C-alpha cells in the first residue's frame, strides 16, 4: 500500500494499509539523508510539516498533540528531573517541552540524523524554539542505541524515546536489550517514556512494546491520546519505572506552571488517559 511517489501538487498523503491521510499543501524540500527520506511541506491546515520516509512526523500547528503527551507524564511524575536523556526527537519539540522545567540542569539529546536537526532548525524553528542555544541542552549526533549501551548506570532521572516507527533507523529502539540498558542508566525514582504506536493501526507492535517494558521494568503502562496526522489518529505513549508506578501520580506543584500553557496535557487528562485502554487491548494484555 505504500506509495513510493509523493505528490508535489495539491495533496501530500501518508499511506498505511489501505488508508491514507493527506494534507493540502506543497512540498518545500524532499531529500535523502544517509538514514531516511526527509520531506518538508507547507500545509494549509497545520503550517509546515515534516515527513520521514513518507510518514507524518510533526507539523507546526499539531506538534503539541504528540510532544505534550510524551513529555509531561514523565517530567511531572519523576522524583527528580536534574538530568534528562532524549533519544531521537530531531525536530526539537520534545526538548522544548522538557526545557520548560526550570529544575532540569542537563539535557542530553542523541539524534542519529544530523539532517533532521538542520532541516528542522531551518523550516520548523517554532517547534524547537530556543532549545538549540539553551546552555542546559547538549546535542549528540550519535546512535541512541549505543548511547544507552555505553552510558553510566544510574545517570538519568528521565529517559524519553522519541523515535519514528520501528522500521528504518528506529528499529532498535523497541527491543529488550535497548530497554534493559535504559533501565540500567535510569536513576531510582526515575521514569522511562516512549511513544508506543497506535492501538488501531499497529496493535501488535503497541502490545509488544508494553509487554517488553513490563518484563524489563517493575511497572509499565500505556496511555492513549490523539495525534490526528498519524495513522488512525489514535496514539499511545508508554511509561515505565522501578519500585512503584510513579507515572500514575504526577506532582501538582510541578504541573501548575506547565499545564497553563498546554494544549492537551493536564493532570486530569493524564490520569484519564491511563484508563482509556480499549477493551480489546486490555483483554490481550491479560493473556
User: Which positions touch a copy of itself (CB under 8 A)?
Assistant: 1, 11, 13, 17-25, 43-46, 65, 200-201, 224-226, 228, 232-234, 259, 262-266, 268-269, 271-280, 282
13 is catalytic: no
Residue nearer to a copy of itself on the CB measure, 145 or 277:
277
Nearer to a copy of itself, 149 or 262 (CB): 262
- The sheet with strand 106-111 has its strands ordered as 137-141, 106-111, 83-88, 156-162, 186-195, 234-241, 219-226
The dihedral over CA atoms of 119, 32, 147, 66, expressed in degrees to the nearest 10, equals: 60
Active-site residue identified among 53, 108, 113, 162: 162
Q: Which is nearer to a copy of itself, 179 or 230 (CB)?
A: 230
Q: How far is the CB of 150 from a copy of itself (least distance, A)?
A: 38
Q: How far is the CB of 18 from a copy of itself (least distance, A)?
A: 3
The CA distance from 173 to 141, in Å, is 16
For 247-262, the DSSP string reads GGS--HHHHHHHHHT-
Residue 267 has a CB neighbour count (10 Å cut-off) of: 20
Cα gap 10→163, rounded to integer Å: 28
Q: Are 219 and 185 in contact (CB under 8 A)?
A: no
**Closer of 21 and 35 to a copy of itself (Cβ):** 21
Measured torsion, CA atoms of residues 264, 213, 200, 39, in degrees rounded to the nearest 10: 70
Closest separation in Å from C-beta 202 to a copy of itself: 12
In the complex, what is the shortest distance from the CB of residue 200 to a copy of itself, in angstroms, rounded to a whole number?
6
CA pair distance 171, 121, nearest whole angstrom: 25
What is the distance, to the nearest Å, from the Cα of residue 46 to the centroid of all Cα atoms in its chain? Answer: 19
Q: Please identify, using beta-carbon distances, which residue of 177 and 276 lies nearer to a copy of itself.
A: 276
Nearer to a copy of itself, 98 or 277 (CB): 277
Task: Give min distance, CB of 232 to a copy of itself, in A.
Answer: 4
Q: Where are the beta strands (DSSP E) in the chain?
A: 11-16, 19-32, 37-43, 47-52, 55-59, 83-88, 106-111, 137-141, 156-162, 186-195, 219-226, 234-241
Contact present, 231 and 21 (Cβ < 8 Å):
yes
**Shortest CB 93 distance to a copy of itself, Å:** 17
What residues are labeled active site?
Answer: 162
Amino acid at each position: 500500500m505504500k506509495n513510493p511517489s509523493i505528490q508535489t501538487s495539491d495533496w501530500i498523503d501518508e499511506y498505511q494499509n489501505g488508508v491514507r491521510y493527506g494534507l493540502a499543501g506543497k512540498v518545500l524540500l524532499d531529500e535523502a539523508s544517509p538514514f531516511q527520506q526527509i520531506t518538508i511541506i507547507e500545509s494549509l491546515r497545520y503550517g509546515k510539516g515534516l515527513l520521514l520516509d513518507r510518514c507524518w512526523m510533526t507539523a507546526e500547528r499539531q506538534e503539541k498533540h504528540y510532544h505534550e503527551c510524551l513529555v509531561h507524564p514523565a517530567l511531572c511524575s519523576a522524583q527528580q528531573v536534574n538530568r534528562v536523556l532524549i533519544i531521537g526527537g530531531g525536530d526539537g519539540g520534545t526538548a522544548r517541552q522538557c526545557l520548560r522545567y526550570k529544575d532540569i540542569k542537563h539535557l542530553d539529546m542523541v539524534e542519529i540524523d544530523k539532517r533532521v536537526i538542520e532541516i528542522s532548525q531551518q523550516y520548523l524553528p517554532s517547534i524547537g524554539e530556543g532549545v538549540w542555544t539553551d546552555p542546559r541542552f547538549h546535542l549528540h549526533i550519535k546512535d541512541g542505541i549505543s548511547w544507552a549501551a555505553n552510558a553510566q548506570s544510574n545517570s538519568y532521572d528521565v529517559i524519553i524515546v522519541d523515535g519514528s516507527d520501528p522500521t528504518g533507523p528506529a528499529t532498535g529502539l523497541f527491543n529488550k536489550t535497548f530497554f534493559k540498558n535504559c533501565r540500567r542508566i535510569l536513576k531510582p525514582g526515575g521514569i522511562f517514556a516512549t511513544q508506543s504506536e497506535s492501538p488501531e493501526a499497529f496493535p501488535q507492535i503497541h502490545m509488544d512494546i508494553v509487554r517488553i517494558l513490563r518484563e524489563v521494568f517493575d511497572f509499565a503502562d500505556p496511555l492513549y491520546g490523539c495525534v490526528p496526522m498519524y495513522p488512525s489518529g489514535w496514539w499511545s505513549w508508554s511509561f515505565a519505572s522501578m519500585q512503584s508506578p510513579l507515572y500514575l501520580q504526577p506532582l501538582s506543584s510541578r504541573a501548575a506552571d506547565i499545564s497553563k500553557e498546554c494544549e492537551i496535557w493536564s493532570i486530569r487528562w493524564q490520569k484519564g488517559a491511563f484508563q482509556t485502554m480499549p477493551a480489546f487491548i486490555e483483554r490481550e494484555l491479560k493473556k
